[in-house]
Amino acid sequence: MELEKLRSKIGEKYLETDRNSGPLFLLAVLMEEVGELAEAVRRGEKEAIREELSDVLFMVISLSNLFEVDVESRLIEKYIKEDPRARWDLP
């Protein structure tokens, strides 16, 4: 399933709830999920990492729906068509 199709399906099911919750609540949940992902990575637990990555992606998609942002096209533009590695602070 393409990301835009997934975004649409998640929006159909959860957008009204997300609107009622508000952007700051969604952002707080995203931060909580990122913390849980960090803990799963620290422990090296692959299944927990899988679970938390799906939660983080869900929250990112929920925020993109709330703000009506086409994240798929920007991902393609920024990371497929362009190559931002030259700007990364890596050795």
Looking at the structure of the chain, the number of domains it has is 1
- For 43-82, write each residue's pLDDT tens digit: 999 999 999 999 999 999 999 999 999 999 999 999 999 9
- The closest alpha carbon to 24, from 55, 58, 52, 66, belongs to 66
pTM flag (> 0.85): yes
Residue 91: pLDDT over 80? no
Q: How many CB atoms lie within 10 A of CB 27?
A: 13
In a domain, residue 25? The reply is yes
CATH of the domain at 64: 1.10.287.1080
In a domain, 89, yes or no: no
